[in-house]
Structure 1
Amino acid sequence: MDRVSTNDGTRAPSGLAMIAPERPRRGRPRNVGLRAAVLQAATDLALADGAGSVSIDAIAKRAAVSRTTIYKWWPSAAAIVLEGLLAAMRDSIVPPTGSDTKGAVDHQLRALNAILTDSTTGPLVRSVIAAASANREVATALLDQWLLPRRAAVTAVLRDGVAAGELRHDLDVEVTVDALFAPAYYRLVFAMPPLDEAALTQLLDTVWRGCTCPDPA
């Protein structure tokens, strides 16, 4: 039996982890109920104590599963925390069908801001970022599982815009990504007021003026 009794009164899995879609993997299929319990436990612990303090032992106890079960599916506590967050937020980097370059970037910019300003996911992201400064495992998971996939998605959109002639041929795509998306993280990390809808529009319009091809004389 994978499930063990802890009798610690923890609540049943709900919220963020419950909406995480199952990803196909080789080998033995995961038990969906146990997986949801583990992801929720990791999320709850990260929100309560910070992502850097979450351990496999603590997750196992709260989720009422064995350590052996957890290690069959995840290599580390950091990987569990990130999977619970990522699975719920994966659609935020997929642009709406039929959107042009600016529309696709606008979608990603507002979706990220919504994640970072949400009362549940915002503190969780902030906790993971804080833990990454002192924990190499968390830092690697944050970079590989969160930042790089999101960055690659918007970079691809911008490069397509360059190829289509919507954006300048000499555009520095990496700097453009930094200019557009760094402000939301900056405000989260330093607990500043988040960007509102009007500020997001102004940010995109300001950066976009430097990205587009100048009108022919």
Structure 2
Amino acid sequence: MNRVSTNDGTRATTGLAIIAAEPLRRGRPRNVELRAAVLQAATDLALAGGTGTVSIDAIAKRAAVSRTTIYKWWPSAAAIVLEGLLAAMRGSIVPPTGSDTRGALDHQLRALNDILSDSTTGPLFRSVIGAASSNGEVATALLDQWLLPRRAAVTAVLLVGVAAGELRPDLDVEVAVDALFSPAYYRLVFAMPPLDEAALTQLLDTVWRGARAPDPAD
């Protein structure tokens, strides 16, 4: 499979680059460097030992910053971990240049499946989802730092498709997002085999048939 990596180009799961933008230059705020160090530390700790090993103290020690500095920007360790993971995996929600609507959805669908079926990131997200059921801080972080940004990226693709006339004008975008991306999470949570290449194609085909705009010739 290996269509998307956890670092936009490699399959490695440690030492992830958190800042995907241009390298830091002289004169850029020190806060940018500190935030990057904190996000990197949290991501590395989570990937190495799971979320249970990540605490504010552990992050502060690894990033060589104070707890006070961390609490200025984040309410919990879970929020840091999930923001870091989203940043490290940003390429999974950014459509390839020149993609049409279907191509962008195909990229996002397969990328998420790769992340959740990976032997390191899959169990990590399963543990986060499990913890969210009883921990309000984890639940909030999961929603704000992972699920909502990813949904927003997919929603933007679908809305562009509607505006371009590729998708039907009355499309229920929320339902389309759920239909496409819920299966990967469902299979992860219940420890079922991930969707294979053929199943992913069939899933996209099925949703696409219901979402595309009617052909004027029909």
TM-score (norm 1): 0.79
- In the alignment, residue 114 of structure 2 is paired with which amino acid? A
Query: Any residues of structure 2 matched to 1:103-114 within 5 Å, and which?
Result: 103-114=103-114
Query: Any residues of structure 2 matched to 1:1-217 within 5 Å, and which?
Result: 15-21=13-19, 29-30=30-31, 32=33, 38-39=38-39, 41-43=41-43, 45-46=45-46, 50-51=50-51, 54-61=54-61, 65-215=65-215, 216-217=217-218
The answer for unaligned runs of 5 or more in structure 1 is 1-13
Quick one: structure 1 residues 183 and 127, their matched pair in 2 at CA, closer, same or farther if it must change by over 3 Å? same
Native 8 Å contact 1:16 1:88 kept in 2: no
Give % identity: 81
Pick which of 69-78 and 183-192 moved more.
69-78
Native 8 Å contact 2:128 2:142 kept in 1: yes
The answer for unaligned runs of 5 or more in structure 2 is 1-11
Residue 102 of structure 1 and its aligned partner are, at CA, apart by: 0.6
* Matched residue count: 201
TM-score (norm 2): 0.78
Q: Distance in 1 between matches of 2:64 and 2:162?
A: 51
Q: Which residue of 1 aligns with 2:3?
A: none
* Greater Rg by CA: 1
Deviations 1:156-210 (A, max 9, x none): 1112211221111221111111010000111111111111111111110111111
- The DSSP-based 3-state class of the residue aligned with 2:19 is coil
Deviations 1:99-139 (A, max 9, x none): 11111111111111111112222222222211111111111
Quick one: structure 1 residues 171 and 31, their matched pair in 2 at CA, closer, same or farther if it must change by over 3 Å? closer
Q: Distance in 1 between matches of 2:32 and 2:169?
A: 49
Native 8 Å contact 2:16 2:43 kept in 1: no
Q: Distance in 2 between matches of 1:51 and 1:109?
A: 25
Q: Distance in 2 between matches of 1:190 and 1:47?
A: 21
- The DSSP-based 3-state class of the residue aligned with 1:95 is coil
Q: CA RMSD in A?
A: 2.8
Q: Distance in 2 between matches of 1:184 and 1:63?
A: 33
- In the alignment, residue 134 of structure 1 is paired with which amino acid? S
Native 8 Å contact 1:16 1:85 kept in 2: no
Quick one: structure 1 residues 212 and 15, their matched pair in 2 at CA, closer, same or farther if it must change by over 3 Å? closer
Residue 60 of structure 1 and its aligned partner are, at CA, apart by: 3.5
- In the alignment, residue 21 of structure 1 is paired with which amino acid? I
Q: Distance in 2 between matches of 1:22 and 1:174?
A: 28
Pick which of 44-53 and 78-87 moved more.
44-53
Native 8 Å contact 1:116 1:122 kept in 2: yes
